[in-house]
Structures are given as C-alpha cells and as structure tokens.
C-alpha cells in the first residue's frame, strides 16, 4: 500500500509530465511572479498556465512549503529564529537547557511557529515573538502573577505564559515553574 507521501510524489511527477515543467521550475516561476498567497497562486496557474485546479493546488502547496522556512527535527530553531528573531536564540538555548536538565523523556515536537514540549502529554511550548520568547506552561492549580501571566489571550492549550526577554530571566523561579509543569505531564 502506498503512503500519503508516495501518493503526493506521484501527483507531482504526473504534473511534471503533463505540463512539461519540473516542480523546481514551477517553484521558481511562482517566486518570480511575486504571488505569495495560496488562492492567488492557484488562480494564476489555472488562468495563465492552464493547470487543472488539482494540479494548481498541489503546485501552489509545494511552492509555498519550499519558500516557508519551517523547523526540522535536526534544527528546529532554523525557521523559528530567522531574520530579526535571530537575536532571541540565546534565550531559546537557555530555556532548552533548563528543559533538558529535567530528564531524558523530554520530547521536542517542531510545529509551524513554535516548539511543542511533551512528556507523556504536552506541558509547555516555546514561541519566539518580536522582542521576547513566549513560554507557555500547563500549571492548572497556579494563580497568575505579573510574571506568570494567564494564557487566556495567548493560547487556549496552556494555563500560563511567561514572556522571557533576557537569558538572566531564566532564574530559579522560572525553572521551578518549568519543573512543575514537567512533573504534571509525567
């Protein structure tokens, strides 16, 4: 039985054979066109290049994925800390050091825009913002404070958020909150 990935690869090969361009050529053509939204790329491919809707949809998805730096398992920070957010990497590294010190069963799952941190279940997330790194935590019995904010307007999966603006803010208090969330997830 073919996997989903094999099916998508077969679809791309069929598009290349039918329309006479490699997927790399389509990606480059879309990049040069200046179009960046899925719907406008699909419409343009259909109107200007005669692709069927299904073919235009697949080419648009592949092109957008190729031009969107995403975190990978080997380097999850690559996409998260591109551009101006690169200056936040030391904070991220400090948070990851604090998390990894908790035990060997920490699972880091890269997502689009953030890292999910799991044990038996998710207990935290790290997400770079413009000038700080957001740390989401699940601490159901903790009261919110000025520093340990409610996550109600941040992300409904978490109970609290801490905005970490500098490496020295990764102190004993913050490490304690991380350890408590980790313990609850085990």
- pLDDT single digits (tens) 84-114: 888 899 999 999 999 999 988 999 888 888 9
pLDDT score for 71: 47
Separation CA 104–CA 75 (nearest Å): 19
Residue 166 three-state SS = coil
Separation CA 168–CA 108 (nearest Å): 23
Domain ranges within the chain, ordered by starting residue: 4-66, 77-184
Residue 181 three-state SS = helix
What predicted TM-score, i.e. pTM, was given to this entire model?
0.61
- Rounded mean pLDDT of the chain? 88
Percent of the chain past pLDDT 70, that is, above it, reads 91
Q: What is the pLDDT of residues 113-155, one digit of tens each?
A: 899 999 999 999 999 999 999 999 999 999 999 999 999 998 8
pLDDT score for 111: 84
DSSP single-letter state for residue 146: S
pLDDT score for 131: 92
Q: Is the pLDDT of residue 3 over 90?
A: no
Number of other residues whose CB lies within 10 A of the CB of residue 139: 19
- CA quadruple 10, 12, 18, 21: dihedral positive or negative? negative
Number of other residues whose CB lies within 10 A of the CB of residue 73: 8
27-31, 70-74, 156-160, 168-172, range with the lowest pLDDT: 70-74
């Amino acid at each position: 039985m073919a996997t989903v990935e094999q099916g998508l690869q077969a679809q791309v090969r069929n598009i290349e054979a039918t329309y006479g361009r490699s997927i790399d050529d389509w990606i480059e053509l879309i990049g040069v066109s200046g179009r960046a939204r899925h719907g406008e790329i699909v419409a343009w491919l259909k109107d200007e290049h005669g692709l069927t809707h299904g073919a235009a949809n697949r080419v648009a998805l592949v092109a957008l994925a190729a031009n969107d730096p995403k975190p990978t398992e080997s380097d999850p920070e690559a996409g998260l800390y591109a551009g101006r957010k690169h200056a936040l990497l030391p904070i991220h590294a400090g948070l990851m050091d604090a998390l990894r010190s908790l035990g060997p069963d920490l699972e880091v799952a890269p997502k689009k825009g953030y890292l999910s941190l799991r044990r038996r279940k998710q207990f935290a997330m790290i997400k770079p913002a413009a000038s700080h790194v957001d740390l989401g935590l699940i601490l159901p019995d903790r009261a919110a404070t000025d520093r340990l904010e409610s996550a109600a307007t941040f992300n409904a999966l978490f109970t609290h958020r801490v905005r970490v603006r500098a490496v020295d803010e990764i102190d004993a208090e913050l490490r304690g909150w991380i350890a408590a969330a980790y313990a609850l997830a085990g």
